[in-house]
Structure 1
Amino acid sequence: MLNFVAIDFETANSDRASACALGAVLVHDGIIVDEYYSLIRPHPTCCNFDPFNTEIHGITETDVKDAPELPEAWANIAGSINGSTLVAHYSAFDCRVINDAFGLYGLSLPECAVACSCVISKRMWPELLSFGLSSIAEKIDFQFVHHNALEDARAAAQIILTTFRETGSADWIELEKNLGFHLGVFHGDEYRSCGLKPKFKTPIQLNPVDYSDPELNPDDFPLWKKNFVFTGTLRSMQRNDAMRKVTQAGGGVLNSVNKKTDYLVMGVQDYYKFTDGEKSNKTKKAEELHTKGYPIEIISEMDFLHMLGDSSAIEKNKVAEKQQEERDPMQDIIDETYQNGLQIIRKLSKDLLNPERLSLYQRKTYAAVQIDNDKEKRICCFYTQGNTVSVAFYDMEGKLGRRSVMSNVKELSNHGNEILRILRFHLDLAPAQSEKLIQMKPMKGLLGVELSVDLEKVKQKIIEEVKKQGQ
């Protein structure tokens, strides 16, 4: 039986206790049975309305003048939450509202499990670049009005219902097992957040050929008894699909290059995982074994596709190669900016960890600096928008802070203590007592900085140089 209450708070200012609206959606046996919404008059100690918050949710001090305070509003849903599961998107925020606001009124915390629809979405749809409420709602084709407390609660509820439906999970225990996360909990005076279980990976279903089967003809399998390793990003298919095609064609797949490797397939060079700026560890290991006389070959993705005889994938790869050749020269400038930022962060963090553990997870308009290629250990991320490359730090709860403008790539180094603070959090290291962390002005309660580079002049120079070469 699937029962839960999805909630959402809006706040008047950066103080988490300043709740000014509450929305709730009650789900019983997998069906939405009731909804609740109320404006809230914040506690007198934190009742000022920050224009920034009002701009987001549209609620003003005048709107809540005659509204109930939190205890009266909460009483309408408390009976449904106690003993059940509380759901929220970015549940750490809403639970902090509960913890801080309840403390002002001397209320006892609820007794319930806590599920974060954002955390669960990261396991459910790992291919997404953003796990904000709007992005996930778009993924499940649910339309809503963002930053209205009831609308946000409805969206969170639909995310959870979709997750249960698509995974076939019967209850929360089964969903935890299927997706690799743990529920949080409110119990007594304690709160534990909902989070991801470490090193959870969805196993790849491969069906290798049984070489001992006497009825099999090796000539029917183009990759018979050949072991493959992949590095870089493939243009024609996902790596998991390529691995399945290898086993279907009679070959084997290895996770790392060793003496048993026959072929290393090079996709688009995974340069954001580089250690010396040019080659991946797999490439260097393959070259080392080759010089020692082992018959390992380094082949391109196109060579691999020809070995498979996959004509449709070959055509797809040709199209991707043509697009690469025709790409905007601006992309080179953007890539260089990403790499410069990564180098600065590596330099700043070298006292805490080996710089090689930092990598850049890069897509067309987005790149995140992370530890050990773990998407849950992100330090900051770069965005591309028009002629600007900007960067924003994640906070301790994995949320992106509001960005404030900086003028030059190298100014990222001025915020070294913030980088170290986030690194220590992910590495579970205590900060030195004598360290003076930079105190940045919080925006909606989050840490945040932005690095911006005006690329328009650089692009214009490239265009002028191209014109001169053509004359």
Structure 2
Amino acid sequence: LAFDEDCSLIDLPVVSLDLETTGLDVRRDRILSIGIVRIQSGHIYTATSLDLLVKPGIPIPERSINVHGITEEVIAGAPDLPEVWDQISGFVDGSVIVGHQIGYDLAMLRAEAERHGLPTIDRPALDTMEMYSALTQDPRRGLDDAADALGVGVFGRHTALGDALVTGEVYLAMLRPLAERGVLTYGAACEIAEPPVWGQDT
């Protein structure tokens, strides 16, 4: 589904997505948790959010557990990723995906689809990190930095749903200053917020 480049950002159907994983290598690492929230008309719809744990199929490294706290015990009763793939795909269908360094999350989803022989989740995306950089030229580009600069409260960091919610709030907080700089439409946002391919300039 292609989106009209003239669609205003405030009206654009968006989902904010974040993953927690066993590591940062898309070839070897696996997804542990998926958090997605819907955003439209300036609102985050938390009541219909998606918050899933999945079994990775590989051991969870200690260094990874130290970041997100997801242990083998936590995911003991979780489904395998293929069992919930249609649920994830259906949730993002018809929307633009936003995320902070979303290129990584998209690369992980592509790798998992290939690994399991699943249909690719192929959605247009906007990177809130690139958007924030274009807006502020701030060399500090992390999610915490952007949230702090934009006055967004940080909660539930390093949980997939928590990070998706914070990212969604960061996205919404940027809409007004972006509009003041003439970035009002999806097409204009694409020019400044296209996700870099993971592994290139990351």
AA in 1 matched with 2:80: E
Q: CA deviation at 1:49?
A: 0.8
AA in 1 matched with 2:150: I
* 8 Å contact from structure 2 (residues 13, 94) kept in 1: no
* 8 Å contact from structure 1 (residues 86, 113) kept in 2: yes
* 8 Å contact from structure 2 (residues 130, 193) kept in 1: no
Q: Which residue does 1:32 correspond to in 2?
A: 44
Q: Which residue does 1:137 correspond to in 2?
A: 147
Q: Which residue does 1:125 correspond to in 2?
A: 136
Q: Secondary structure at the match of 1:48?
A: coil
Q: Does 1:3 align with 2:3?
A: no
Q: Which residue does 2:121 correspond to in 1?
A: 110
Q: Does 1:166 align with 2:177?
A: yes
Q: Select 2:103's aligned residue among 92, 95, 100.
A: 92
Q: Which residue does 2:8 correspond to in 1?
A: none
Q: Which residue does 1:152 correspond to in 2?
A: 163
**Residues of 2 paired with 1:149 and 1:141: CA distance?**
21
Q: CA deviation at 1:182?
A: 5.3
List alignment gaps of at least 5 residues for structure 1.
184-193, 196-394, 400-471
The CA deviation string for residues 166-207 of structure 1, in whole angstroms up to 9 with x for no partner, is 22244311334xxx4253xxxxxxxxxx24xxxxxxxxxxxx
**Residues of 1 paired with 2:112 and 2:171: CA distance?**
26
Q: Which residue does 2:22 correspond to in 1?
A: 12
Q: Does 1:398 align with 2:201?
A: yes
- 1:5-404 equivalences in 2 (<5 Å): 5-16=15-26, 17-33=29-45, 34-42=48-56, 44=57, 47-126=58-137, 128-142=138-152, 143-168=154-179, 169-176=183-190, 180-181=191-192, 183=194, 194-195=195-196, 396-399=199-202
Provide closer, same or farther for how the CA distance between residues 20 and 396 of structure 1 changes in structure 2, counting only shifts above 3 A.
closer
The CA deviation string for residues 270-304 of structure 1, in whole angstroms up to 9 with x for no partner, is xxxxxxxxxxxxxxxxxxxxxxxxxxxxxxxxxxx
**Residues of 1 paired with 2:83 and 2:164: CA distance?**
19
After superposing on structure 2, the runs of 4+ consecutive aligned residues of structure 1 that deviate more than 6 Å are none
* 8 Å contact from structure 2 (residues 16, 36) kept in 1: yes
Q: Secondary structure at the match of 2:124?
A: strand
Q: Which residue does 1:283 correspond to in 2?
A: none
AA in 1 matched with 2:134: R
- Higher RCO, 1 vs 2 (CA within 8 Å, ≥6 residues apart): 2
Provide closer, same or farther for how the CA distance between residues 87 and 55 of structure 1 changes in structure 2, counting only shifts above 3 A.
same
* 8 Å contact from structure 2 (residues 12, 41) kept in 1: yes
CA RMSD of aligned residues (A): 2.0
AA in 2 matched with 1:98: L
Q: How many residues align?
A: 183
Q: Which has the larger Rg?
A: 1
TM-score, structure 2 as length reference: 0.82
* 8 Å contact from structure 2 (residues 19, 32) kept in 1: yes
AA in 2 matched with 1:140: L
Residue identity (%): 23
* 8 Å contact from structure 1 (residues 2, 170) kept in 2: no
